[in-house]
With several copies, the nearest count.
Chain A
Amino acid sequence: MALNKVVENVQAALEGVENNMTFMLGGFGLCGIPENAIKELVRRGITGLTCISNNAGVDDFGLGLLLQGKQIKKMISSYVGENKEFERQMLSGELEVDLVPQGSLAERCRAAGAGIPAFYTPAGYGTEVAEGKEVRIFDGKPHILEMAFQADFAFVKAWKGDTAGNLIFKATAKNFNPMMAMAGKITVAEVEELVPAGALDPNQIHTTGVFVQRIFQGTDYEKRIERITTRPKV
């Protein structure tokens, strides 16, 4: 029988989160973010958090909600500042920000999940990103050594999931979710649709249940769009 990773709700899923922990949060912009987990982190009011996430949300949605409550001590991201409170906290020195090239961010998450402590990449060589990092030439080209991240919890959002923790993502809402799922000491998956083990085609699983410790049926997804862009019907 498949293992059962289901927890009743978001409260049970976040059992054990504490002040000063390091979290990974899936999503690109507001696309594919773990909305339920973020709301529950806000509700719990824990502080001193280090958040590894490609972006930092907007003022009133996504990680912006945690920023409003001054719950975040440090952001590790590739692109931030789509919200005023972030800018204020960063400029005032309340918020520490570590900017990481997007590909290195993704690979450092995967490395964490894959037991690769460090790898070489050309990204950032010759820039301030390389400061203090080992440089090594491979095939005539300089590379820098990047280290795997570590995270106490990873919060990811999937389209469909089964009780065994297997996940399927939709379209570009996949983004950072699969690698972060691999990397959390405890990985919490929230899904739009939770189905019994066996209901998903084993050929189509994007993230296998082995990486997921807890899964729950999410509720009230807003799925806000950051930049609605359309074309006129001809």
Chain B
Amino acid sequence: MLNKDQIAQRIAQELQDGWYVNLGIGIPTLIANHIPEGINVEFQSENGILGMGPFPYEGEEDADLINAGKQTITALPGAAYFDSATSFAMIRGQHIQLTVLGAMEVADNGDIANWKIPCKMVKGMGGAMDLVASAENIIVAMMHTNRKGQSKLLRQCTLPLTGVKCVKKIVTNLAVLEVTSEGFKLLERAPGVSVETIKAATEGRLIIDENVREMNI
């Protein structure tokens, strides 16, 4: 079973040289720490920066330089700043090759719910709806089940949707899955995790080929 950092590490293996990438808050943020050798990517934060660098050293924070999670950041050489309309022009116009974000639920048709729980305080969708509606390549990073042990990979989402038929791939603590027209296709299982465990933790339709390989982590 993977921990959160290992989920990020596994997703980092999906990165391709030359990609622009938008990382959501939570697990996706950790991906920046695991970029494979020889792979060069540039991070976009939707509040207005391309070429986002690491957090600043203590005492070097700049109130005018933050990421979409409102954390202080730095800019790498070759970075550029832009306004919010231009930022979402990049996103909506499919100039960002990969979006990674967390989710509360994913359905086996690619629907995603990650912004609202009815009867609870709603904070808003931020940029998530724009991101999922436009990204050509969306990976969801999440735990396979919720705190009550219920599957987050469903036949149909029960929570209000963020986007429809948009998720392409899911990396959880248990597995790597691809969304196909017939449901979740199990691509890889986490080290030491059996296909049966994944089956039991997945409520949506699950396609299992012979010999599902173990992740290389």
Contacts and interface: CB of A to CB of B under 8 A. Distances in A.
A193 to B, nearest CB: 13
Nearest to B162: A127
A121 interface: yes
B160 interface: yes
Nearest to B17: A3
B137 interface: no
Contacts of B56: 230-231
Contacts of B162: 127
Interface in B16-72: 18, 20, 40-42, 44-51, 54-72
A99 B130 CA distance: 13
Nearest to A90: B121
B96 interface: yes
Contacts, number: 261
Given A113-B89, A127-B129, A209 B80 contact: yes
B65 A122 contact: no
Given A3-B18, A114-B92, A172 B48 contact: yes
Contact of B58 (A176, A182, A227, A230): A230
Contacts of A79: 123-126
Interface in A212-230: 223-230
Contacts of A163: 78
A102 B125 contact: yes
B164 interface: yes
Please classify the interface of chain A as helix (H, G, I), strand (E, B), loop, or mixed, using the class held by over half of its residues.
loop
A109 interface: yes
Contacts of A50: none
A230 B121 contact: no
A210 B44 contact: yes
Contacts of A109: 85
B133 interface: yes
Interface in A53-84: 54, 77-82
Interface string B100-114: 000000000001000
Interface string B70-84: 111101111111111
A122 to B, nearest CB: 4
Interface stretch (A7-15, A26-34, A37-45): A26-34
B42 A3 contact: yes
B78 A197 contact: yes
B114 to A, nearest CB: 11
A115 B93 contact: yes
Interface string B129-154: 11001100000000000000000000
A226 B69 CA distance: 9
B205 interface: no
A189 interface: no
Interface in A76-101: 77-82, 87, 90-91, 97, 99, 101
A99 B122 CA distance: 9
Interface of B: 18, 20, 40-42, 44-51, 54-73, 75-96, 111, 121-130, 133-134, 160-164
Given A101-B128, A230-B59, 10 more contacts: A101-B133, A104-B130, A110-B89, A115-B89, A123-B130, A125-B164, A164-B51, A172-B64, A174-B48, A177-B83
Considering the complex of A and B, which 7 residue pairs feature the smallest CB-CB distances, nearest first? A2-B78, A198-B77, A103-B88, A197-B78, A115-B92, A103-B130, A114-B89
